[in-house]
């Protein structure tokens, strides 16, 4: 079973994450930020990952450390759960509509972290979460999981729909990329 438990404690956040790539989409999320909880729940369900996320962050400052550090720990859990990446499909992509919004994610579990993020929001917040933190979460996730990720909002008018489509497109792309297709690493180098 491809799973990981990661705990990370700093002066700003105390985070524990359990991730099972081969799960059933069961989630238990509590970050203290309702909108972020909703996005992570959608992420786990649509990826088919069992995902438990417990966070105590310095929300009296703002949501930045909580959101970014959660991305770091989920990324670390994904990296650990995938181990040497033997047999995975490696690449994944997905277009996801959410009412008037459309998002696209293409990614490569390559051990070469990179993020291209193209999404514009119309407001400053979604619930208690700053819209600019969406990019911070995905950057932390991509770099700590060592994934090359291209994440794009193709269009949309409602910030909630745009954001949810981004999270779901990433989830479906990861689900595909983590799928087992053989016993060997999909690379001409023989390693990822």
Distance separating alpha carbons of residues 155 and 162, to the nearest angstrom:
8
Helices (H) and strands (E) in the chain, counts: 4, 10
Given a cut of 90, whether residue 185 has pLDDT beyond it is no
- Position 183 scores a pLDDT of 77
pLDDT confidence bin for 182, thresholds 50/70/90: confident
- Position 18 scores a pLDDT of 98
Burial class (CB in 10 A: 0-12, 13-18, 19+), 91: middle
Percent of the chain with pLDDT over 70: 99
Paired sense of beta strands 27-30 and 50-57, if any: parallel
Question: Under the phi-then-psi rule, with left for phi > 0, alpha for psi from -120 to 50, and beta for the rest, what region is 190?
Answer: left
> Degrees (nearest 5) of the Cα angle 71, 44, 98?
95
Instruction: Give me the domains of the chain, ranges plus CATH numbers.
Output: 3-177 (3.30.230.40)
User: Which residues lie closer than 8 Å to 94 by C-beta, 6 or more apart?
Assistant: 104, 105, 168, 169, 171, 172, 173, 176
pTM of the model: 0.96
Average pLDDT over residues 84-91: 92
- Sequence-separated contacts (24+) of 160-164 with Cβ below 8 Å: 160/35, 160/126, 161/98, 161/99, 161/100, 161/101, 162/98, 162/101, 162/103, 162/119, 162/121, 163/39, 163/121, 163/126, 163/131, 163/134, 164/38, 164/39, 164/42, 164/98, 164/101
Tokens of 36: 């972020």
Q: List, for residues 107-164, the tens digit of each pLDDT value.
A: 999 999 999 999 999 999 999 999 999 999 999 999 999 999 999 999 999 999 999 9
């Amino acid at each position: 079973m491809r799973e990981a438990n990661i705990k990370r404690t700093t002066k700003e956040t105390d985070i524990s994450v359990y991730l099972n790539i081969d799960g059933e989409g069961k989630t238990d999320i509590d970050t203290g930020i309702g909108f972020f909880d909703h996005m992570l729940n959608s992420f786990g369900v649509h990826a088919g990952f069992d995902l438990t996320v417990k966070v105590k962050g310095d929300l009296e400052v703002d949501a930045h450390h909580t959101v970014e550090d959660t991305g770091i720990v989920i990324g670390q859990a994904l990296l650990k759960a995938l181990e040497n990446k033997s047999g995975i499909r490696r690449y994944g992509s997905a277009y996801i509509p959410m009412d008037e919004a459309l998002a696209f994610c293409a990614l490569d579990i390559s051990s070469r972290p990179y993020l291209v993020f193209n999404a514009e929001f119309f407001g400053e917040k979604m619930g208690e979460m700053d819209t600019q933190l969406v990019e911070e979460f995905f950057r932390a996730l991509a770099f700590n999981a060592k994934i090359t990720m291209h994440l794009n909002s193709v269009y949309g008018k409602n910030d909630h729909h745009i954001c949810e489509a981004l999270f779901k497109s990433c989830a479906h792309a990861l689900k595909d990329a983590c799928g087992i297709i053989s016993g060997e690493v999909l690379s001409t180098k023989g390693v990822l």
